[in-house]
Every structure is written in C-alpha cells, then in structure tokens.
Amino acid sequence: MATDGIRSAVRWLAVLPAALVGVLITLFPIHWVVMLIPYFDRPDDSIVSVDGKGLLASMRPELLERLGDAFLLPISLIVVGAAVAPRFKFQAGIALAILWFLLIGVALTLTLSHGRFEWGNAVLSVLGLLGIAIGLHRASLIDQEHNSSN
C-alpha cells in the first residue's frame, strides 16, 4: 500500500520532465518531415502550386518548422504530461496548458516590448492556442478512459 503512494508521488514528480522530453522528441519528426517535403513534392498532383512547386514545398523550411512546432509541441506537452500523471489527468493537462500559455504570453510580450508587431507571431500564437485546445481535448479523453477503467 505504501508503495502505491511512493509510485504516485514519483509519477507526479515526473509529469513535467516527461512532458518536456515528449516535446524534445516531437521536435525531431517535425524537422525531418519539413526537410523531406521538397523530395516528395508533386506539383502536378497538387491543387495549389507556387512557382511550379506545391504549396508546402514553396514555403521556407524555417517557416514550416516554426508552424509545425507552434501547433504540435503544446499537444505533445499536454498529452504526455496527462498520460504520466497518476490521477487527475485532465487537471494536469490544464496546468501544463497554462504553463504553455504563459510561455506564449511572455514571448509575445517580449516581441511587442521591442516595438515590433509581426503577423507571423500572431499566426504562431493562434496555432499554439489551437494546439493547446487539441491537447486538452486529448487529455480529457485520457482522463475519461482512466476513470472508466478504475
């Protein structure tokens, strides 16, 4: 019985580090997908083409990677953290979403304090918020599944 309490405490301590590792692991597939897009581009199959390239292949790789990171990293953070939490998985996802939201707020504040407003940052913020919403939805499903199995 005491080992259950220790195991639960260790899992709570592991929520944030595991979520951060999940974010780091997510960075690699995003990068490689972005790097491989030009090799699998078929503009004749694409509805939209720019300068003879498909839409994604015509974008700068740095921009594509930033868009993918902004959308997928909060999903990874919230879902991995919720999966590691021993109980209250949705609430753990909410705490991680608040943390990510605060990071977005700090980044935007620093950008705006330098007197620069860029639409790209606004788009990245919207993608981040969408990622948070999807991550929280998945965390709620994980929580429901966990509660129904107990």
Give the model confidence (pLDDT) of 72-103 as tens digits: 999 999 999 999 999 999 999 999 999 998 98
What percent of the chain shows pLDDT beyond 70? Answer: 89
Contacts of 91 (CB under 8 A, 6+ apart): none
User: What is the DSSP code string of 59-109?
Assistant: S-HHHHHHHHHHHHHHHHHHHHHHHH-SS-HHHHHHHHHHHHHHHHHHHHH
Q: What is the pLDDT of residue 43?
A: 57
Cβ contact 108:34 at 8 Å: no
pTM score, whole prediction: 0.85
pLDDT the model gives residue 45: 56
The CA distance from 118 to 82, in Å, is: 33
Q: How confident is the model at residue 149 (pLDDT cuts 50, 70, 90)?
A: confident
pLDDT in tens, 55-71: 777 788 899 999 999 99
Q: What share of the chain is helix, strand, coil (3-state, %, to 5)?
A: 80, 5, 15
